[in-house]
Amino acid sequence: MAPVSLTIPCSEEAIRALHVGDTVSLSGILVTGRDAAHKYLCERFIRATTIPESERQFYDELRRVLDGGMIYHCGPVVRRDATGKWEFVAAGPTTSIREEPYEAEVIAHFGLRGVIGKGGMGENTLRACREYGAAYFHAVGGAATLIAHTVKEVLSVYKLEEFGVPEALWVIRVEHLPTVVTMDAHGRSIHDQVEALSRAALGRLTCQRAKS
């Protein structure tokens, strides 16, 4: 079965049409963000009573890019080409559960339609996906170089000096980034299903061992 092609930014309708297990090819504008970025967005913008004037332009740009957009949990390896432009050398996903304390608020505040990473996320993020019409897209771990080939352009980078390369917010344009929906907007999570099956299997093994 051919993957679903999805262009970012995308609509809530397009996301709600997806279901766990769907393979999706993503093209369009993404923003990378890991621990430092999520903590910063929540503390400086989402949970703050006012936006500092010195951060207003950055905040407005993020609102524009993330509305209907996606955050990629990625700590890239980058270099500059002969013309001085940034390019991605490696772009593998990082473990997403570290962003669980923040992700639901980021989805709600910025109008995200998707989160990309590996390993899945927890109940708060799943609830936000269902409420706001977002999905979690699982990218292939260990394929950092392959995924980097889907990054066609670095449009801008924020907080590079403050956070460093892996934690900075890189605004990138991708073409045909391969993913699988593992948490959908209908409240389903493959990660929860796998955990439940694993617990049941462990219980059976424990009972068998006790009887032997």
Closest CA relative to residue 9, chosen from 66, 62, 59, 60: 66
CATH architecture of 4-211: Alpha-Beta Barrel (3.20)
The full length of the chain comes to 212
In this predicted model, what pLDDT tens digit does every residue of 125-161 receive, in sequence order? 999 999 999 999 999 888 899 999 999 999 999 999 9
Per the confidence metrics, is the pTM higher than 0.85? yes
In this predicted model, what pLDDT tens digit does every residue of 73-104 receive, in sequence order? 999 999 999 999 999 999 999 999 999 999 99
State how beta strands 4-8 and 169-183 pair.
unpaired
Catalytic residue (one of 38, 73, 138, 191): 38
Q: What is the pLDDT of residue 116?
A: 98
Cα 129 to Cα 31: distance, rounded to the nearest angstrom:
18
Mean pLDDT, all residues of the chain: 91
Percent of the chain past pLDDT 90, that is, above it, reads 86
107 has a pLDDT exceeding 80? yes
Which residues, other chains included, contact 44 with Cβ-Cβ below 8 Å and sequence gap of 6+?
52, 55
Active site residue 38: yes
What tokens appear for 109 in the block? Answer: 């505040």
* CA distance between the termini of the chain: 45
Confidence band (pLDDT; 50, 70, 90) for 195?
Answer: low
Percent of the chain past pLDDT 70, that is, above it, reads 89
The whole-number average pLDDT for the span 48-59 is 93
